[in-house]
Structure 1
Amino acid sequence: MPLSICSVWSDERYAGNKSRFKIMSRSLAEEDSFDVSKLRKGVRSGVLFSIMNLAKGALGGGVLAGHVAYMTAGYLPALILNMIYGVYMCFNFYILVLSAQRLCRRCHVPSMTYPDVGEAAFALYPNPKVARWSTCYRKWIDVITCLNLFGSCAAYQLMVAKTIKQLAEDTQESIIEGLFPGLPNLRAYIAFMIVPFIIICLITEIKYLAPFSIVANVVIAVAIIMTINYAVKNNPGFENMVVANSFMDIIKYTGMAVFSMSCAGVVIPVENNMKDPKKFPLVLGIGYIFIIGSVFSASFFGYVAFLDKCESPITMNFPLKVGPKVLKGFIAVMIYVTHAVNFFMPFNCVYYYLKPKFKPENQFKMELLFRAIIVVVISLVAIAFPSVDALMGFLGCFCLSNMAFICPNTIYVLVHYDRPGKNKKWMIWRAVLLSLFGVFILFCGSFVSGKDLVFALFKKKATTTTEAPA
Structure 2
Amino acid sequence: MKPTCVVSLGPKRYNSEPESHDTSPNYDPHEHRNVSRSTTNFETLIHMLKAFLGTGILAMPEAFKIAGLAHGFIFTILIGIICIYSLHMLIQAQYVLCKRMQVPLLTYSDSIKAALRSGPSALHKFADLSSYVVDVFLIIYQTGMCCVYLIFVSVNVKQLLDEFLPEPMALELYTLILLTPFVLILSVPNLKWLAPFSFVSNLLTLGSFGIILYYIFSELPSIKNRQLVGTLYELPLFFGTTLFALEAVGVVIALENNMKTPKSFGGYFGVLNFAMFFVTLLYAGIGFLGYWRYGEETRSSITLNLENKNLLAKLVVGFYSVAIFISYGLQGFVPVDIMWNRYLSKRLSHLKHAWICEYILRIALVIVTVLLGILIPLLGPFISLFGAFCSSTLGIVFPAIMDICVKWPYNLGYKYWILIKNIFIIVIGILGLLSGSYKAIAEIVRNLSIGDYS
TM over 0.5: yes
How big is the shift at 1:121? 0.6
How big is the shift at 1:385? 1.1
1:265 aligns with 2:250: yes
Counterpart AA for 1:210? A
Q: Which residue of structure 1 aligns with residue 291 of structure 2?
A: 303
| Alpha-carbon distance in 2 for matches of 1:38, 1:207 | 20
1:341 aligns with 2:330: yes
Q: 1:445 aligns with which of 431, 436, 447?
A: 436
On the 8 A contact 2:21/2:407 being kept in 1, the answer is: no
On the 8 A contact 1:19/1:134 being kept in 2, the answer is: no
On the 8 A contact 2:185/2:329 being kept in 1, the answer is: yes
Q: Which residue of structure 2 aligns with residue 108 of structure 1?
A: 102
On the 8 A contact 2:6/2:15 being kept in 1, the answer is: no
| Alpha-carbon distance in 2 for matches of 1:220, 1:371 | 26
1:354 aligns with 2:344: yes
Counterpart AA for 1:339? Y
Q: Which residue of structure 2 aligns with residue 332 of structure 1?
A: 321
Q: 1:457 aligns with which of 431, 448, 454?
A: 448
| Alpha-carbon distance in 1 for matches of 2:317, 2:423 | 44
Alignment of 1:87-236 (within 5 A): 87-125=81-119, 127=121, 130-170=123-163, 183-235=168-220
How big is the shift at 1:81? 0.5
How big is the shift at 1:364? 2.3
Counterpart AA for 1:261? L
Q: Which residue of structure 1 aligns with residue 57 of structure 2?
A: 63
Alignment of 1:230-249 (within 5 A): 230-235=215-220, 237-249=222-234
Q: Which residue of structure 1 aligns with residue 373 of structure 2?
A: 382
On the 8 A contact 2:51/2:331 being kept in 1, the answer is: no
| 3-state DSSP of counterpart to 1:14 | strand
Q: Which moved more, 1:108-117 or 1:80-89?
A: 108-117
Q: Deviations over 1:301-345 (max 9, x none)?
A: 222222222234332222332233133212111111211221121
Q: Which residue of structure 2 aligns with residue 280 of structure 1?
A: 266
Counterpart AA for 1:368? Y
Counterpart AA for 1:166? Q
Q: Deviations over 1:182-208 (max 9, x none)?
A: 532222321232233233333434443
Counterpart AA for 1:355? S
| Alpha-carbon distance in 2 for matches of 1:18, 1:285 | 31
On the 8 A contact 1:46/1:276 being kept in 2, the answer is: no
Q: Which residue of structure 1 aligns with residue 31 of structure 2?
A: 38
On the 8 A contact 1:21/1:124 being kept in 2, the answer is: no
Q: Which moved more, 1:410-419 or 1:55-64?
A: 55-64
Q: Which moved more, 1:183-192 or 1:76-85?
A: 183-192
| Alpha-carbon distance in 1 for matches of 2:133, 2:262 | 30
On the 8 A contact 1:223/1:315 being kept in 2, the answer is: no
Equivalenced residues, count: 445
Counterpart AA for 2:144? G
| Alpha-carbon distance in 2 for matches of 1:365, 1:49 | 28
1:397 aligns with 2:385: no
On the 8 A contact 1:227/1:301 being kept in 2, the answer is: no
How big is the shift at 1:292? 0.9
Q: Deviations over 1:240-280 (max 9, x none)?
A: 32223322221101100011111312333444426362771
How big is the shift at 1:37? 2.7
Counterpart AA for 2:301? P
Q: Which moved more, 1:35-44 or 1:234-243?
A: 35-44
| Alpha-carbon distance in 2 for matches of 1:362, 1:423 | 57
| Alpha-carbon distance in 2 for matches of 1:190, 1:29 | 51
On the 8 A contact 1:77/1:250 being kept in 2, the answer is: no
| 3-state DSSP of counterpart to 1:258 | helix
In structure 2, do the counterparts of structure 1 residues 449 and 419 end up closer, same or farther at CA, with 3 Å as the change threshold?
same
On the 8 A contact 2:242/2:387 being kept in 1, the answer is: yes
| Alpha-carbon distance in 2 for matches of 1:237, 1:115 | 50
In structure 2, do the counterparts of structure 1 residues 185 and 421 end up closer, same or farther at CA, with 3 Å as the change threshold?
closer
Normalised to the residue count of structure 1, the TM-score between the two structures is 0.86
| Alpha-carbon distance in 2 for matches of 1:136, 1:276 | 29
Q: Which residue of structure 2 aligns with residue 174 of structure 1?
A: none
Q: Which moved more, 1:100-109 or 1:359-368?
A: 359-368
Counterpart AA for 1:88? I
| Alpha-carbon distance in 1 for matches of 2:106, 2:425 | 24
RMSD across aligned positions (CA): 2.8
| 3-state DSSP of counterpart to 1:133 | helix
Counterpart AA for 1:323? L
Q: Which moved more, 1:230-239 or 1:243-252?
A: 230-239
| Alpha-carbon distance in 2 for matches of 1:260, 1:218 | 19
In structure 2, do the counterparts of structure 1 residues 451 and 222 end up closer, same or farther at CA, with 3 Å as the change threshold?
same
| Alpha-carbon distance in 1 for matches of 2:424, 2:412 | 21
In structure 2, do the counterparts of structure 1 residues 20 and 186 end up closer, same or farther at CA, with 3 Å as the change threshold?
farther
On the 8 A contact 1:86/1:292 being kept in 2, the answer is: yes
How big is the shift at 1:167? 0.8
On the 8 A contact 2:43/2:195 being kept in 1, the answer is: no
In structure 2, do the counterparts of structure 1 residues 138 and 20 end up closer, same or farther at CA, with 3 Å as the change threshold?
farther
The unaligned stretches of length 5 or more in structure 2 are none
Q: Deviations over 1:143-186 (max 9, x none)?
A: 11111110011111111111111112249xxxxxxx99x53222
Q: Which moved more, 1:200-209 or 1:449-458?
A: 200-209
Q: Which residue of structure 2 aligns with residue 323 of structure 1?
A: 312
| Alpha-carbon distance in 1 for matches of 2:21, 2:395 | 31
| 3-state DSSP of counterpart to 1:22 | strand
| 3-state DSSP of counterpart to 1:324 | helix
* Identity across matched positions, percent: 22
Normalised to the residue count of structure 2, the TM-score between the two structures is 0.89
On the 8 A contact 2:249/2:395 being kept in 1, the answer is: yes
How big is the shift at 1:52? 4.5
Q: Which moved more, 1:28-37 or 1:245-254?
A: 28-37
